[in-house]
Each structure stands twice: as C-alpha cells, then as structure tokens.
Structure 1
Amino acid sequence: MKLFAFLKLNLDEQILLTRTLFLMWKIRLMLWILPFSYTKNFFLRNNENKSNESNYDVQKLVWAVEVSSIFVLKATCLVKAITGKILLSNENYDSRIKIGVLKDNKNNFEAHAWLELHENEIIIGAVEKEYTQLLY
C-alpha cells in the first residue's frame, strides 16, 4: 500500500523522499553508534553542501522529514530535528535545533529536541509542553 503511494508521487518528490530517508537512517545509526559530538560535527560539515538557490519550499522539506520518520526505527525528535536542519541548510534556509528539558508532576525527567525556522517558528517537533532550553 505505501509503495503504491510512493509511486504516485512525482519524480522530484520521490527523489526528495529517498534522499531524506537515507539521510535520516544515517543520522539514526550515527546517534546509536557514535558520540553526539561526532554527529554534531557531521551535520555542521554537511551544511557546506549548500545549493545556490532553493529547490524546495520549507513545507515540502518538513513533509519529507515527517514521512521518512515513519520508516526509520526510533526516529526520535532529535533525529528528525537534525535531518530537518541538514535539509533546510542545504536549501539555504536558516534554522536552529533547540534542545530542552523538563520535570513532569511526578518528577520524571524529560528531554525534547525541535527545529525552529527564523525566530521561534517551530517547524519540526512542536509540542504543548514548556521545555527549559539547554542547547540552541
């Protein structure tokens, strides 16, 4: 069923989705195997592959991240935020990964990552909770 939906997409969308899926799997595997600092350096280096003009709008890139995350085991908020950051940076969009924490009413610790475009426009990882930002 999902293969049929993929085949119904135009070629440009199929290419974007395939690129995004492979990038997300690469990031997922890196976060499982390597220290976060190495993964962070990878996506900072990857930002040097910028194109001169944007081929995709922001909504299309976010769509590719959300759809690809269905097919990646444990595609956490951090995996999606890093994938989105790389895709957006390669298309010359300025975005920032933010990481925050909170304690719930039972004193359980919780962390979350999200991606913002411009200032405070959350495009990947929007949630209702108020996190205290640690990294941005």
Structure 2
Amino acid sequence: MWFTKSQEEVLKEFHVDPAQGLSPEEVSSHLEKYGPNKLKGKPKKSLIAMFFAQMKDMLIYVLLGAALITLLIGEYTDSIIILLVVFLNATIGVVQEYKAGKAIEALQKMTTPKCLVRRNGKVIEINSEEL
C-alpha cells in the first residue's frame, strides 16, 4: 500500500523526479495503467428494489396480515383500504429515498476534493481523481 511507504520509495517506484513532477505523457500513462484516484461507490438501487425495501418493516407486515384477515372474513373494502395505505406508504418512501439520493449526488459533485501537484516543474491544483 502506498500510504505505508516513504515519499522517497513512492517517487522511486513511479520513476518521478521530485523537482519536475510528472509530464503530461506520464500522467496519461499512469491514469491508463492505474485508473482514476476514485473510490467505487455502491451500485444504485432500482426503483423496484427501493419499493420492496420499503416493505421490510414490521408495521408493514402487521398491515399486510390485517389485510389478509379482513379479506378472509369478507371485508373487501377494508382489505383494499389497508393495501392502498401500504402501497401509498411504500411509494412515499421511494420518492423520499430517491430525492435524498439525488441530493447526496449533487453535494458530492459540488465538493470535489482538490490537491496540489508538481507537473513539469510547476505546482498546480487538480481534482483529486486526477492524482
């Protein structure tokens, strides 16, 4: 791991002159070889997966049980109302979770970490993904 090595060891391993830094060719070569300096995020959940995740709650199980019991005793109107409440609850939960995810994505785009690097002998600021 890079963080366990000294600065000199890392510079030597990457064949970098500390006074000059990397050239544009070396930067593109390293980017191609090692990829961007970015953590992989969790895969996004589909809307259907979010919907079914809303159903994993004890209160929902109780309501579904109540809907089944009212259906078995012939109270069809009550069953339909209970199922509509469960569906509406899950739909509202999905909408809120989706909006929260979009807000987090927007915040992450606004707060791109920067770093100072030496390229061709000049110190410049770049996005940390390009490091």
- The TM-score range, normalised by the shorter chain, is under 0.3
Structure 1 or 2: more helix by fraction = 2
When normalised by structure 2's length, the TM-score is 0.25
Structure number having the greater strand percentage: 1
TM-score (norm 1): 0.24
Q: Which has the higher contact order (CA 8 A, sep 6+)?
A: 2
Q: Which has the larger radius of gyration?
A: 2
